[in-house]
Amino acid sequence: MADAASGIWSLLHLPGSLPWPKSYAVLGSPIAHSLSPAIHQAAFAAIGWPGGYGRVEVHAADLHAVADRLKTIGFSGWNCTAPLKQEMFRLCDRRAVTAVQLGAVNTVRHEIGTLEGHNTDGKGWVLAVEEAFSVSLRELRILFLGLGGAGAALARQASWEGCPLLHLANRTASKALTLTGELQLRCRIQAVPWEEASLAEAVTNADLLVSSLTEDPHFLRNPGFLDRLFRPGLFVLDLRYSPPDPPLLQAARARGARTANGLGMLLHQAALAFELWTGASAPISVMREALAASLSPESAEKSSG
């Protein structure tokens, strides 16, 4: 049996029977860093749910086999990390509106051989933004930097929320243009070229900048450009949370912007998944404490600043 805090299963080493009466897991690669087991174990304990939550290291090519095996064993559900969310969407027997709207599945419920796909990332992001900045997301003009799986999904969520203006910027221009075409019937939207002058102009008409970049391009390390990009009163959300205080957020705060990392989204999407699985209200304060405790003392101190 995998220890929920540290053990990791793989396709060849999945358990032969249910490790817990109600068994759940997070699937991804790499997966050792995931904080989800700590959050969910604490939540299960708080409400007396007979559940446990492990990790499964799985690449996209093996996802179908792993999902079939978890279904056969009788797992009650699981989460998927990038880049498995689109493939998990295809594997589900039923898809909730949240999954269809975002084109991806991050949360699966298994009932009597049927896999039901949900997406809690979108609403989790909305709750995180509103909690961090004390403002309704639907009032915000947003500049998205990066339109990979996460960035594209959140742009779709913003369009469904009714945000007044979206700017989409991506290194590969065709991706921004394609997504702009998809969303333009629901909201006012603009594709922004991936170069300094255009980004600097777009941010003057934005209230929130959302970065889903895994690595900052050279111009986001240029102090002169950062002086043009960030301003007092701008909200800046970097979806990364390891490290919890990346250079982009440090640069934004130094120029008067208000910042948040991806821990809030991680917390709220987990709480929504918990509610789908258990039917109970998520013990948010318990989950928040478990998340903070799972970080190193140094990381916890930085992420609370």
Q: The domain containing residue 224 runs over which residues?
A: 123-261
256 with 268, same domain? no
Domain end among 261, 277, 292? 261
pLDDT in tens, 248-296: 999 999 999 999 999 999 999 999 999 999 999 999 999 999 999 998 6
Q: Indicate the number of domains in the chain.
A: 2
Contact 105, 80 (CB under 8 A): yes
CB-based contacts of 70: which residues, under 8 Å, 6+ apart? 14, 25, 56, 78, 110
pLDDT score for 305: 34
58 with 139, same domain? no
296 with 222, same domain? no
The vertex-33 CA angle with 250 and 126, nearest 5°, equals 55
112 with 131, same domain? no
pLDDT in tens, 46-88: 999 999 999 999 999 999 999 999 999 999 999 999 899 999 9
42 with 87, same domain? yes
CB-based contacts of 184: which residues, under 8 Å, 6+ apart? none
- Does any domain span residue 294? yes
- Does any domain span residue 3? no
Question: How far is residue 165's CA from residue 68's CA, in Å, rounded to a whole number?
Answer: 42
- The letter for the amino acid at 81 is T
CATH code of 82's domain: 3.40.50.10860
Residues serving a catalytic function are 85
253 with 152, same domain? yes
- Does any domain span residue 140? yes
268 with 290, same domain? yes
109 with 201, same domain? no
130 with 75, same domain? no
38 with 97, same domain? yes
280 with 211, same domain? no
- Does any domain span residue 274? yes
Contact 183, 159 (CB under 8 A): yes
pLDDT in tens, 126-148: 999 999 999 999 999 999 999 99
DSSP 257-304: -EEE-THHHHHHHHHHHHHHHHSS---HHHHHHHHHHHS-HHHHHHHT
- Does any domain span residue 61? yes
pLDDT band of residue 107 (cuts 50, 70, 90) is very high
pLDDT in tens, 132-191: 999 999 999 999 999 999 999 999 999 999 999 999 999 999 999 999 999 999 999 999
- The letter for the amino acid at 52 is G
Question: How far is residue 125's CA from residue 261's CA, in Å, rounded to a whole number?
Answer: 11
- Does any domain span residue 1? no
pLDDT score for 295: 87
153 with 202, same domain? yes
pLDDT band of residue 3 (cuts 50, 70, 90) is very low
Q: Alpha carbon of 116 to those of 113, 154, 265: distances in Å? A: 10, 21, 22
- Does any domain span residue 278? yes
- Does any domain span residue 221? yes
pLDDT score for 298: 45
CATH code of 129's domain: 3.40.50.720
pLDDT in tens, 225-250: 999 999 999 999 999 998 999 999 99
